[in-house]
Structure 1
Amino acid sequence: MAISMDKVMGIQQYTLGVRSQRAETIANNIANADTPGFKAKGLNFQQALQQAQRGMDGFHLARTHERHFAVDIKPQGEEMYRIPTQPDTGDGNTVDVQLEQNLYMQNALEYQMTMGFLDGRIGAVKKALGSGS
């Protein structure tokens, strides 16, 4: 009997990738907190998750040499500019560092929770396979 990894992992396999992308977006905002004119961005989590589940095609990088790896990049979701939560300080930067740090911590906790769920699912499959022999 074949085991379907999509059924074992469920939506969590897609959630993990989107949370990773969200962490990158938030980290980029924090890294550019002192960059004049930088506009903070956010990721629409629900939209990104739906795109990941549907397996929307990204784009394919051309291989210029036969020993190069084939790479498909599949962006998930659309980054959108955040609505500023603080008045303009005069340099045009819209990053609220405290907000971004809170969002990063929340995302990190959700990432860990997803990893724990996946670990439990994989453990259950391993246990089922081990007890069946």
Structure 2
Amino acid sequence: MLGKLDEYLRFNETALGLREKRQGVLASNIANGDTPNYKARDIDFGNALKSALDKATPGAAASLKTTAAQHYPNPPQDAGTMADGTQLQYRGVVQGAVDGNTVDMDVERNQFADNAIRYEAGITAINAQIKAMMAAIQGGT
């Protein structure tokens, strides 16, 4: 029974988790807007969601969990990979800066706002799923 509930909510739960991670990456870009040689990063949300859903599917290969920062992550992590294996990509340069920084604040703010709105839409979708389940349990409409 609990497995079916997990399966029912898995998509929106996974999407919200990725939206949260993307918001952190975008916030980092904004925070480093004046850092020389900083390269703006982002997540390819569609590919990351597909990968995360594949990993979350029952029967998928389990990854090792680490208990301390000194442990080697699984899979091996580099500068282009987040701790959970989500791939980071460099954002294309719209207008280069003399100091080598590739952050375009207008692009970053727009992406940040878009991601926040999509996060709120995900919350609304989960609330609707829970209301539908409650109605089914209570026998109401």
1:15 and 1:42 mapped to 2: Cα distance?
A: 15
Structure 2, unmatched stretches of 5+, are 56-61, 70-81
1:123 to 110, 126, 131: 131
2:66 to 55, 60, 65: 60
Q: How well do the aligned residues superpose, as a CA RMSD in angstroms?
A: 2.4
1:115–1:84 distance in 2 versus 1, CA, 3 Å? same
Q: Provide TM-score, normalisation by structure 1.
A: 0.81
What is the aligned residue count?
122
Q: For residues 69-91 of structure 1, what are the alpha-carbon distances to aligned partners after superposition, in whole Å with 9 as ceiling and x for unaligned? A: xxxx9615201111110132x11
- How is 1:24-39 mapped onto 2 (pairs within 5 angstroms)? 24-39=24-39
Are residues 1:110 and 2:118 paired? yes
- The structural deviation recorded for 1:30 is 0.2
| Identity over aligned pairs, percent | 31
2:105 to 97, 104, 108: 97
1:24–1:107 distance in 2 versus 1, CA, 3 Å? same
Q: Provide TM-score, normalisation by structure 2.
A: 0.76
Alignment match, 2:74: none
Query: What letter is aligned with 1:97?
Result: M
SS at match of 2:131: helix
